[in-house]
Structures are given as structure tokens and as C-alpha cells.
């Protein structure tokens, strides 16, 4: 069990206030209220909860388990879990009386966005916790009254039962707020460790584990690292490598089979992790361990005989085969280093290659070739692991020559245009980019560009264009390239992306097609008499408007690439001042207006405003609407689609 000090990071006053706001603004449906005595002979095992639930156990000791988390109940205990959780209740004594409250929460349409923002911080409806209430008898009476009202059957009775549910929630959060409670919830990092030890062979989503505790993936990562001294991903990789080492030492399975059986995506991923952690290939590791086993077996028959009791007194087993003799532990690292040294020494002796003073060996080419012939998996893995060095604003970064598992944010269209289907995409939510490249990313995983989400995909390359503050954390997961797209022209950015993905020819082909589209658009504007017309773009509303400059994604296209003219006021106040936006009141708006307006975003223009109605562009219906699906990103596929949209609209209006 866990005391208040250990979980204070999870139920801070701010979190409690947020949870209370969510409950107060959500639509709550009470589904069922039950009570039963669970006896030790017939425990409840692995019941899949059909909805969110409160469980109150009293009258005896019991173990309540939700998924991988166990709660010890002594006399009274209240536990909460989300829909889909696996519930088990095992009385320690003869029986335990258990109340179960089933409920469902929904968001009202008019508060959906606001509630989603709160739910991104903490979700009280899936949050998993357990504690002993400050006044357990009062809580017991509350559950009993809720049960009696629910069994009344009439609508008024069910309304009363629902009111008791709200009283229960208020009492729970009041207990959390006052802090005078005994928490039953185990340490999330410990439960996570148990889960990873059990499920490391399976695909792991750290966010799903965090959801079990109702905390964010980032918070779980911080708690785990603080307790275990390593990140979630590092621990998971360590467990998988340990299992792979066992397979390499004790089976004749191929490296591909071992990779598949220990949770790695494929043998290439296993190879890369071995090179990173052991500085050698899996095949080399297998050879070295085979050699060390031979060394340990030398002159076996000359050992002095002794009985099992004496052996037990002398030798103690530690973890996976480590042993200590007379209290001294021989570490895996020492055995590994000794075996490695022996292998290198034998290699040097048989090849005639001298060992230099630094302890490294330089074997001739024929030795390397024979080694690859003997172990074809190594050759394939080494070919797959070839790398190139990319110069970036963050320094030189070594990337795979042909990346296979690419995660990208924001500039998804650039990656897709170069013929690469990303494994994971961030900030490319369905609906915002679906019209542009939905078919190409239909099989991509949509994630947030947060370390814990990216870790779960095990990428071999990360392309980051938004959220520079995450660069250091992401670069620890896989080679990460930061693209300062705002400081690059389209040509510079696409060539840079082509260099990153090893697609230089594709990049030139994409740029040529894009340049042709720009020239065709400019020619069409000239023929339609639009070359000398001015254009204003921005977001317009009843109270104030935001007029965009040439740094805006659409502004780059309109003013820099299509070379359309801005009104003098926009040019002097926004573009010349190197501003992204300029806030303009409705009264000042006429001074910024051009011959044509491009309205950005999905909000409606202020059609009922008197000043708005008097604008010449409005009166002459020279407004081009550009939704967020096209104005949101600067990637080349979205820009290309935006050109088509704006050109077609302007040409139609010019007629």
C-alpha cells in the first residue's frame, strides 16, 4: 500500500480541481448498483468491467486487482477503475461484502472542446486508484442508500441514487483534498515494471499503461525514471535484450526468430540495439558465449569431488546464472570482458595480426569476409545498418541510409511526396489533412510527438519540425532531425528532406513539378488581369481580426511564391515588420483591405457587421475561403493543393 507522500504527485490540488470540473460538466449516466458477498471459495476473477466502476469492499480483508495493479483491503477500501479493466476480488478471510456502482460519462456538445482540454490533463473516468475513506462508515451508509434507491425501480428513486453518486464523488475528492487518507494505490512505476516484465514480448503503448492510472504518459515516464533510474523505453529494451541474450546462448534459433520472440520489430531492430548496448552483433555475442562455455568446461574431470551440501554452503546463485564463491560475486560484465579478450587474442594469433598497444585488433579483409560467409544474418543486418551523416542546426546526426520506420510531425506531406509512407504521424489529425494525403497515411499511426508515444513505435528515424523542446528526449530514442522549416525556402526544405531520406532524385522531381505549378499559376493570373491586384489574407471576426504577413504559411505562398501584391498598409505594418500576424480592430480593418480577401480557418466571417459589409471586396464578393485543412501546414503536398484551390477561386471571381 502507498501513503499520501508517495502519490502526492498524482493528486495535487490542481489535479483535484480539474477532476471536479470534469465531473461537474459531464453527462453522467448511472447504469447499475449491485451488492454481493464474495466468499474465498469462489473469488471473482478477471471480470472485464463493462463501464467505469466504483468498488467498495467492507467487512473483511481482501485483495482487489485491476489489470496489473493489486490493492490490499484490510477492513474498508474504495477502488475505482475504467471501462475494460480486468477486475479480480479475492477475500483473505471467509468473505467480503462488495458494493459495485456502474456508470458512464459523456461530454455535452457545447462543452466538448473545453472538456477535451481538461481530459488531456487527467481523465477521472478511467483513473485507477484505491484508498481507505476518512469516514468509512459514512461511505458505507452512502453506498447502502444508493443501493436501496436504485432498487426502488421508479424514476424518482433512480434520480435519488444518482444524487448519492455525486455525493460519493464529492466525498472522495474532499478526502483527497484534505489528505487525511490512506492510499491503497501501488506505485505506478512498480506496477508498470511488473507489466513490462510480463508483456515485453508484445507491442507496448506506454500511454495505455499510463491510462490505467489516469495520468499522462509523460508523468508516468518521470515517475518510472525517478524510481528505476532509466526511462520506460530503456527498461523495455533491456528486458527484450536480456531475453534475446538467453535465446542466443541457449537455443539454435535464428536471429530473426529470436527477434520475433522477444518483442523486437525485426532482426534489424535487434541488430541495432545490440550494436548500441553491446558494441557487437548478435552473432558475435553468440560466438563469444559459446567460447566462454568451452573455457568454463576445460579440464572438467580434474575438479575435486564434493557433496551437494558443501556446494550449497560455498556457492550461491544470483539472478540469471551469476554465482558468488565465498561471498565474492563474479559479474556478468567481468565474464563478458574476459571472453571477449580471449576471442580477440585467439583471432590475433590465428590471423597473424598484431595486437596494438591500445588493445584493439585490426583483422585483414579476408577474415571479415569469411566471417560474413559463416553468418549470413550478420551480413544482412550490417547492410541494413549502414548510415549516413546529416548536417543540421543541432549538429551532425548519423541516420540510416534507408530508413524504414519514420516518424514525422507537421511536414508529413513532404515525406509522403518523396515516396515514403511514415510509420507514425503527429499533428496530422484526421480531418485536417485527410483531403490532401489521406490515402498515403491511412495505415500510419496517429500519435502526439511526445517521447512516450514515439518510443512505442520503435522508429529508426524521427523528423521533428514542431516542438523543438522535445528534441533532446526524442534524440535518445532514435536518430532525430530537426527541420527549421520557418527559416528555409521550399526548395531548401525539400532538398534537405531528400537528403534526410536518401531521396535526392525524388526531391528534385518534386521541386520541378512544384515550380511548374507556380509558373502556370502566375501566367494564369497575368492572363486574367490579376497581376496588379492586391490581396489580404487573415482570420476575420466580429470584434477583431488577424491579418497575416509573408511569414504565415499561406502568406509565403501568396506573397513570396505566387508574388501577389499586398495592400500598402499590410506591407508596411506587417510584412516589413517581419510579423506573422497583425491584430486589427474592425474599425481599422478597411485600411488593410485589398482587392481580394482570403479568409483563413473554419470560422464564419462577420457577415452582420456594418463595417464589414462596406468593404469593397465584400460588396463585390471577392472572398476566397481557405479552411484549416489547407491553411494549417506548409508541407509541399498541402501547398500544392492550396495553389490549385486559390488559383481556381481567384480565376472564377475574376470573371
Give the CATH number for residue 529.
Answer: 3.40.50.1980
Whether residues 254 and 169 share a domain: the answer is no
Cell numbers standing for residue 2:
502507498
Whether residues 204 and 101 share a domain: the answer is no
- Within-domain flag for 558: yes
Q: What confidence score (pLDDT) does residue 7 get?
A: 40
CATH code of the domain in which 223 resides:
1.10.10.60
| Distance in angstroms (rounded) separating the CA atoms of residues 48 and 53 | 11
Residue that finishes a domain, picked among 446, 479, 502: 502
Cell numbers standing for residue 584:
486589427
Whether residues 410 and 261 share a domain: the answer is no
CA distances from 187 to 15, 131, 184, 226 (A): 18, 13, 9, 12
Asked whether 198 and 209 are in contact (CB, 8 A), the reply is no
- Within-domain flag for 281: no
SS (H, E, C) 215-282: CCHHHHHHHHHHHHCCCHHHHHHHHHHHHHHHHHHHCCCCHHHHHHHCCCCCHHHHHHHHHHHHCCCH
The residues facing 37 across adjacent strands are: 97
Q: What confidence score (pLDDT) does residue 313 get?
A: 36
Whether residues 45 and 64 share a domain: the answer is yes
DSSP 446: E
CA distances from 143 to 99, 146, 480 (A): 7, 5, 53
**Which pairing describes strands 129-132 and 315-318: parallel, antiparallel, or unpaired?**
unpaired
- Within-domain flag for 345: no
Whether residues 456 and 530 share a domain: the answer is no
DSSP 158: H
Residues of the chain with pLDDT under 50: 1-9, 295-384, 429-433
The residues facing 325 across adjacent strands are: 315, 328
Domain count, the chain: 4
Whether residues 571 and 442 share a domain: the answer is no
Return the half-sphere exposure (C-beta side, CA atoms, 13 A cut-off) of residue 385. Answer: 20
Whether residues 179 and 197 share a domain: the answer is no
- Within-domain flag for 331: no
- Within-domain flag for 90: yes
Whether residues 13 and 139 share a domain: the answer is yes
Residue that finishes a domain, picked among 138, 163, 186: 186
- In this prediction the pTM is 0.46
Whether residues 473 and 562 share a domain: the answer is no
Q: What confidence score (pLDDT) does residue 288 get?
A: 80
Whether residues 476 and 518 share a domain: the answer is no
Whether residues 611 and 564 share a domain: the answer is yes
Q: What confidence score (pLDDT) does residue 551 get?
A: 85
CA distances from 127 to 144, 433, 653 (A): 24, 32, 54
- Within-domain flag for 589: yes
Residue that finishes a domain, picked among 233, 260, 276: 276
List the 44-48 sheet strands across, edge first: 44-48, 86-91, 62-66, 69-73
Provide the domain limits for residue 450.
397-502
Q: What confidence score (pLDDT) does residue 225 get?
A: 85
CATH code of the domain in which 63 resides:
2.60.120.280
Q: Which residue has the cell 459495485?
A: 100
Q: What is the pLDDT of residues 180-224, one digit of tens each?
A: 666 665 557 767 877 888 888 888 888 888 877 777 777 888 888
Asked whether 55 and 70 are in contact (CB, 8 A), the reply is no
Q: What is the SS3 assignment for 577? A: coil
CA distances from 169 to 28, 517, 555 (A): 12, 60, 51
Whether residues 414 and 558 share a domain: the answer is no
Amino acid at each position: 500500500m502507498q501513503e499520501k507522500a508517495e502519490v502526492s504527485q498524482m493528486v495535487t490540488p490542481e489535479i483535484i480541481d480539474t477532476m471536479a470540473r470534469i465531473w461537474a460538466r459531464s453527462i453522467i449516466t448511472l447504469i447499475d448498483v449491485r451488492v454481493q458477498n464474495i466468499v474465498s471459495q469462489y473469488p471473482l476473477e478477471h471480470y472485464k468491467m463493462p463501464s467505469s466502476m466504483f468498488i467498495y469492499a467492507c467487512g473483511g480483508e481482501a485483495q482487489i486487482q485491476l489489470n496489473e495493479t493489486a490493492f490490499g483491503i484490510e477492513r474498508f477500501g474504495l477502488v475505482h477503475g475504467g471501462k475494460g479493466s480486468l477486475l479480480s476480488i479475492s477475500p483473505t478471510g471467509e468473505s467480503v461484502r462488495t458494493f459495485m456502482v456502474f456508470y458512464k460519462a459523456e461530454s455535452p456538445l457545447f462543452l466538448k472542446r473545453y472538456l477535451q482540454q481538461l481530459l488531456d490533463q487527467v481523465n477521472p473516468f478511467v483513473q485507477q486508484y484505491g484508498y481507505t475513506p476518512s469516514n468509512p462508515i459514512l461511505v458505507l451508509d452512502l453506498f447502502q442508500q444508493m443501493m436501496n434507491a436504485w432498487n426502488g425501480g421508479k424514476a424518482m428513486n433512480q434520480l435519488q441514487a444518482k444524487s448519492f453518486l455525486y455525493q460519493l464523488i464529492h466525498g472522495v475528492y474532499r478526502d483527497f483534498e484534505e489528505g487525511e487518507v490512506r492510499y491503497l494505490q501501488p506505485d505506478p512505476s512498480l506496477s508498470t515494471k511488473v507489466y513490462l516484465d510480463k508483456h515485453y514480448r508484445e507491442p507496448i503503448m506506454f500511454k495505455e499503461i499510463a491510462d490505467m492510472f489516469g495520468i499522462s504518459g509523460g508523468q508516468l515516464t518521470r515517475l518510472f525514471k525517478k524510481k528505476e533510474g532509466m526511462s520506460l523505453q530503456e527498461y523495455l529494451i533491456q528486458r527484450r535484450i536480456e531475453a534475446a541474450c538467453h535465446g542466443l546462448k541457449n537455443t539454435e534459433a535464428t536471429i530473426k526468430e529470436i527477434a520475433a520472440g522477444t518483442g523486437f520489430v525485426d532482426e534489424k531492430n535487434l541488430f541495432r540495439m545490440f550494436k548500441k548496448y553491446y558494441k557487437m552483433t548478435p552473432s558475435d555475442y553468440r560466438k563469444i558465449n559459446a567460447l566462454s562455455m568451452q573455457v568454463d568446461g576445460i579440464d572438467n574431470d580434474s575438479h575435486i569431488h564434493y557433496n551437494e551440501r558443501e556446494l550449497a554452503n560455498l556457492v550461491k546463485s544470483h539472478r540469471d546464472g551469476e554465482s558468488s564463491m565465498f561471498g565474492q560475486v563474479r559479474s556478468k560484465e567481468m565474464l563478458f570482458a574476459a571472453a571477449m579478450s580471449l576471442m580477440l587474442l585467439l583471432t590475433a594469433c590465428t590471423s597473424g595480426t598484431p595486437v596494438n598497444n591500445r588493445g584493439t585488433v585490426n583483422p585483414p579483409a579476408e577474415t571479415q569476409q569469411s566471417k560474413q560467409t559463416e553468418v549470413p544474418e550478420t551480413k544482412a543486418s550490417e547492410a541494413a545498418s549502414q548510415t549516413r551523416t546529416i548536417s543540421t542546426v543541432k549538429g551532425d546526426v548519423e541516420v540510416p541510409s534507408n530508413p524504414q520506420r519514420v516518424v514525422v510531425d507537421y511536414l508529413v506531406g513532404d515525406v509522403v511526396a518523396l515516396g515514403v509512407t511514415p510509420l507514425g504521424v503527429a499533428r496530422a489529425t484526421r480531418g485536417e489533412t485527410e483531403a490532401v494525403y489521406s490515402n498515403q497515411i491511412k495505415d500510419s499511426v496517429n500519435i502526439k510527438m511526445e517521447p512516450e508515444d514515439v518510443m512505442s513505435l520503435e522508429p529508426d528515424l524521427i523528423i521533428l519540425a514542431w516542438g523543438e523542446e522535445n528534441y533532446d528526449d526524442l534524440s535518445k530514442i532514435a536518430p532525430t532531425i530537426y527541420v527549421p522549416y520557418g527559416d528555409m525556402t521550399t526548395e531548401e526544405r525539400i532538398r534537405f528532406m531528400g537528403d534526410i531520406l536518401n531521396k535526392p532524385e525524388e526531391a528534385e522531381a518534386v521541386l520541378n513539378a512544384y515550380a511548374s505549378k507556380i509558373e502556370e499559376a502566375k501566367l494564369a493570373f497575368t492572363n486574367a488581369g490579376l497581376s496588379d491586384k492586391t490581396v489580404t489574407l487573415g482570420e476575420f471576426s466580429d470584434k477583431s481580426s488577424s491579418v497575416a504577413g509573408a511569414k504565415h504559411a499561406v502568406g509565403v505562398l501568396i506573397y513570396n511564391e505566387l508574388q501577389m501584391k499586398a495592400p500598402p498598409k499590410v506591407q508596411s505594418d506587417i510584412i516589413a515588420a517581419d510579423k506573422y500576424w497583425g491584430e486589427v480592430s474592425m474599425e481599422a480593418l478597411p485600411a488593410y483591405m485589398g482587392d481580394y480577401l482570403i479568409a483563413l480557418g473554419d470560422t464564419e466571417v462577420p457577415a452582420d457587421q456594418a463595417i464589414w459589409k462596406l468593404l469593397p471586396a465584400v460588396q463585390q464578393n471577392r472572398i476566397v475561403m481557405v479552411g484549416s485543412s489547407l491553411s494549417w501546414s506548409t508541407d509541399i503536398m498541402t501547398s500544392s493543393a492550396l495553389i490549385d484551390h486559390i488559383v481556381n477561386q481567384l480565376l472564377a471571381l475574376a470573371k
